[in-house]
Structure 1
Amino acid sequence: MRYTQFLFFVLLNLSAQFGLIIPALAAENISLDEATTLALQANPDIAVAISGREVESGQALQAGARPNPTLSGQVQDLRSQNRISSIILSQQLETAGKRDKRIAAADASIAIADADIRIAQAETSAKVYAAFYQVLAAQQAQMLAVELLQIGTTSTETTAKRVLAGKVSPVEETKAKVIEAGLKIELVNANQQLAAAKKRLISLWGKGLASTETTAFTAVGELDKFNTLPALAELAAELPNSPRLKKASLAVTQKQALSEIEKSKQTPDITVSLGAQRNQELGGLTQAIIGLSIPIPLFDRNQGNLQSAKAREMQSQDEKTALENQLQAELAIAYAGWQSQIEAITTYTQDILPGAQSAFDAARKGFEFGKFSFLEVLDAQRTLFQTKTQFIQTQSSAHQAEADIQNILGVTSTYKPLVGVDKKESP
C-alpha cells in the first residue's frame, strides 16, 4: 500500500515538473469525465489528504512499539578490595492491554484519514462538476454575444445605407452605432467571463496549470441536460453514507479508543529487573539480582485525563449530531434551489423564450410592412438574446445546485451518478 502511494506521488511530481499532465489540456475538446479525471489525479487538496494518511500510518507504526529494555550498571567504592559492581537489565511490562488500545486508536485515526481522502475527492469532483458547466454556460453566452454583435454590425451598415438613400434620419444611424459599441463591450465581457471560467476549472487540476496557454480548449457537454433527482426524503436517507458523516462516526470511535487508553493508564505497569552483582569484599562473589517494581496509584490515578477523554468522547457525539442536522439543512436548501431552477427552466422553455421569439418575429414582420423601425427590430432581437443569456445562467445555476447536492452526499466522480438518478432531456 505504501509503495503504491509512494509511486503515485513520484508520478504526480514528475507530471507537474515535466508537463505530463498539461498535454491533456492541449486537446481541442475536453469532456466532464476527462476534467474530473485530471482533477482527481492532480488536485493538491487530495494530495494533502493522502499525505495526511501517511502521517497517520507512521503514528500507527509507533503505537505498536513496545517499551525498550533498560540496562544500568553501578560501582560502589572505587577501591578494588572493597568494590561492589552490579549490572541490571530492566523491562517494563505494559498492563491492561495498553498496546492493543493504542493500536486501536491509531487504526481509527487511519480510518479518519481515509475519510478525509474521500471527502477531498468528493469536494473536488463537485467543484469540477460546477466549474465545467460554468464553462459550458460561458461558451454559449460568448457565442450569443458574437452572434448579437454580428447582427448589430449588419444593422449599422443597413441603417447607414438607408440614411444615404434618404429613407431614415441620420439619428437612426447614430443610435445603431451606439448599440453596436455596447454590443462590442458585451462581447469583451463575455470573453473575459469565459476565460475566468476556464481558469477556475483549470485551477482544480493542480498548481501552476492556470495559465493563459492552457485555456485554449473547448468544454464538450450538454448544458440543457439534467439529472432527475428522487424525492428529498430518499436523498436524505443516503446521508449516513456520506464521507463527512462517516468521518464523524469514525471520530466518535477514535475518541472512545482514546478514552480506553486513558482508562488503561489507571492500571500501573510492572517493571521486572534481572542482573548480577560482584562483591570484592566477599572474595569476588557474584550474586544474582531479581527485582520487581510496581507504582502505587495513591495520588495520581490519571483521573483528570480520563475525565477529559470522556468529555471529548461526548463532544464528538454532539459534533456528529450537529453535523447530521447541518447536512440535512444544507441538502434541503440545495434541493429547494435545484427545484426552483428546474421550474424556472420550464418557465423559460414554455413561456418566456417563445414569447421573446414571438415578439421578435412580430417586430421583424412589422418592419417588413413598414410598421416598425429597424431599431425596434434590433431592440426585439436584443431582448431575445438577453432572455437566452438569462436562460443559460439559469441552467448553470441548476447544475451548481446539483453539484452542491453531490458534494453533500459525497459523490466522488461523475462516473457515479446521484442515487436513483436517470438522465433525461430538459423540458
Structure 2
Amino acid sequence: MNFARLLFLALQIFIVSMSSMLSLSTPATAAESVITLDEATTLALQANPDIAVTLSGREVENGQVLQAGARPNPTLSGQIQDLRSQNRITSIIISQQLETAGKRDKRIAAADANIAIADADIRIAQAETSAKVYAAFYQVLAAQQAQTLATELLQIGTTSKETTAKRVLAGKVSPVEETKAKVVEAGLKVDLVNASQQLVAAKKRLISLWGKGLASAETTTFTAVGELDKLSTLPALTELAAELQNSPRIKKAGLMVIQKQAFSAIEKSKQTPDVTVSLGAQRNQELGGLTQAIIGLSIPIPLFDRNQGNLQSAKAREVQSQDEKAALENQLQAELAIAYARWQSQIEAITTYSQDILPGAQSAFDAARKGFDFGKFSFLEVLDAQRTLFQTKTQFIQTQASAHQAEAEIQSILGVTSTYKPLVGDVDKKESP
C-alpha cells in the first residue's frame, strides 16, 4: 500500500469520526438505567430529606392543635383540722378553673395558624427541591454531552497521532510533528478524565436530592434522558413579579402575621382573670358529725400583674412580622430580577452561539480540512481547528445548562414545580452545526 492510499484511508477515518462528533446526544448502554426529569423529580419529592423534615414538623403541629383545645384539669383537695377525733373537721373540695375571654378558642386559632405555616413549609420544600432537581438534571445532561465530545475528540486525536507517525516514517514530515501529536493526545486524555469526573459529580448532586446518599459508586450508573436544547419561554418580568404574591414563601410570611396576631389575642385575653369555682363537703365532729356543703368562688385581682409586658411584646412581634413580610417581598423582587436578567443573557448567548459562533467555528474547521486536502495545512492545524470547534460546542452546552439553572432559580423564587412551555422562534430547538 503506497503512501497516498494510506493517507486517503486515514482521511476517510477522520471524516467518519467528524460525522459522529456532530451528534450531541448520549445514548444509554444496555447495562445502564435511564431516568427522565419527571422521574427524577418524583424520586426527590418522595424521599428528599428536607421534605421529610417539614412533614415531621407538620406532625409536631398536629399535636399542638390537640393540646391547644384541652381544658384545665379539675383540682381535688382535702384537709383535716385538729387531729383529735372529737374536734376533727374534715373537708373535701373539688375546684374547676373556668377560662374567660375565649382563651381556649384563641389558643386553637394560634395552633391552626401554626398548622398553616407548617403546610407552607412543605410547599416551600417541595418547590425548592423540584427546582434543585431541575437544575441538577440538566447539569447531568450537559456533563453527559461534554463527556461524549471529549471522547470523540480523543478518538480523533489518536487517529491524528497515528497518521502523523506514518507520515514521519514515510519521510513526509518532521518527527517534531509526531511529538506534537502525542502531546495533543495526552492533553485530550486529561480532558476526558476531567469530563468523566464532572459527570460523576453532577450525578451525585442529583442523587443527593433523592436521599439515597453518595456512598455507592454504582448509584451513578444511570443515564439522564432529555433534551438540553429544549428551553422554556418565560412571561415578562412584570408578569412574574405579579405572581410572587402566590409564592409559598410570601404566603408563609402572611401566615406569620396571622400567627403573631393570634398570639397577641392570647396575651390580651390573659388580662382577663379566670374564675375558679369550688364545690365540696365538710364533716364537723364538734357538731356531732354534721356534714356541711362548701361552695367557693375565686377570682385573681389584676392589681400588679396585668400581663401588660407580654402583650406589649406580642404586639411588637406582630409589627415585626409585617415588616419581615415587606422585607421578604423586596428581597424576592430583587432575586427575581437578577435571575431573570441572567436567564435573558443566557438566552441571548445561545442565540449568538447558534447563529454566529458555532457556524464560524464550523466554517474554520471545514476550511482547514479542505486546505489539508490540498496540502496547504498540516494535520495538526486541522486538529487545532477541530478542537476549537469542540471547545465552542462545549461552551454552548454550558450556556444551555446555565439557562436551565437560571430558570430553576426563577421557579424556586416563585415556588412553582412545573416548567413553562417550550420556546418558539429564534431560541427554538435547532440542529447543531
TM-score normalised to structure 2 length: 0.90
Larger Rg: 2
String of CA shifts for 1:122-168, please: whole Å, max 9, x gaps.
11000000000000000000000000000000000000000011110
In structure 2, what is the Cα distance between the partners aligned to 1:336 and 1:104? 42
Aligned to 1:376: 381
Aligned to 2:50: 45
String of CA shifts for 1:187-226, please: whole Å, max 9, x gaps.
0000000000000000100143552111111000000011
Aligned to 2:429: 426
Which one-letter code corresponds to 1:417 in the other structure? T
Which one-letter code corresponds to 1:426 in the other structure? K
In structure 1, what is the Cα distance between the partners aligned to 2:247 and 2:229? 28
In structure 2, what is the Cα distance between the partners aligned to 1:114 and 1:218? 34
Which one-letter code corresponds to 1:118 in the other structure? R
In structure 1, what is the Cα distance between the partners aligned to 2:214 and 2:99? 53
Contact 1:276 1:288 in 2 (8 A): yes
Is 1:171 the counterpart of 2:176? The answer is yes
In structure 2, what is the Cα distance between the partners aligned to 1:201 and 1:422? 23
Contact 1:367 1:377 in 2 (8 A): yes
Deviation at 1:28, TM superposition (A): 1.5
Counterparts of 1:204-283 in structure 2, within 5 Å, are: 204-208=209-213, 211-283=216-288
Aligned to 1:294: 299
Aligned to 1:162: 167
Aligned to 1:23: none
* Residues 1:27 and 1:175: Cα distance change in structure 2 (over 3 Å): closer
Counterparts of 1:27-426 in structure 2, within 5 Å, are: 28-208=33-213, 211-412=216-417, 416-418=418-420, 421-424=421-424, 425-426=428-429
- Residue aligned with 2:265, SS: helix
In structure 2, what is the Cα distance between the partners aligned to 1:106 and 1:251? 12
Contact 1:85 1:279 in 2 (8 A): yes
* Residues 1:35 and 1:323: Cα distance change in structure 2 (over 3 Å): same
- Residue aligned with 2:353, SS: helix
Structure 1 gap ranges (5+):
1-25
In structure 2, what is the Cα distance between the partners aligned to 1:147 and 1:289? 98
Contact 1:148 1:385 in 2 (8 A): yes
In structure 2, what is the Cα distance between the partners aligned to 1:205 and 1:274? 61
In structure 2, what is the Cα distance between the partners aligned to 1:134 and 1:166? 47
- Residue aligned with 2:231, SS: strand
In structure 1, what is the Cα distance between the partners aligned to 2:321 and 2:112? 17
In structure 2, what is the Cα distance between the partners aligned to 1:202 and 1:211? 11
Contact 1:202 1:210 in 2 (8 A): no
In structure 2, what is the Cα distance between the partners aligned to 1:209 and 1:139? 19
- Residue aligned with 1:237, SS: helix
Identity of aligned residues (%): 87
Deviation at 1:263, TM superposition (A): 0.3
In structure 1, what is the Cα distance between the partners aligned to 2:318 and 2:212? 38
Which one-letter code corresponds to 1:112 in the other structure? I
Deviation at 1:27, TM superposition (A): 6.1
What is the RMSD of the two structures over their aligned residues, measured on CA atoms? 1.0
Which one-letter code corresponds to 2:162 in the other structure? E
Structure 2 gap ranges (5+):
1-30
- Residue aligned with 2:232, SS: strand
In structure 1, what is the Cα distance between the partners aligned to 2:142 and 2:55? 33
User: Which 4+ residue blocks in structure 1 deviate beyond 2 angstroms?
Assistant: 207-211, 421-427
**Aligned pairs, how many?**
397
Contact 2:230 2:422 in 1 (8 A): no
Contact 1:44 1:207 in 2 (8 A): no
In structure 1, what is the Cα distance between the partners aligned to 2:398 and 2:156? 22
In structure 2, what is the Cα distance between the partners aligned to 1:86 and 1:351? 99
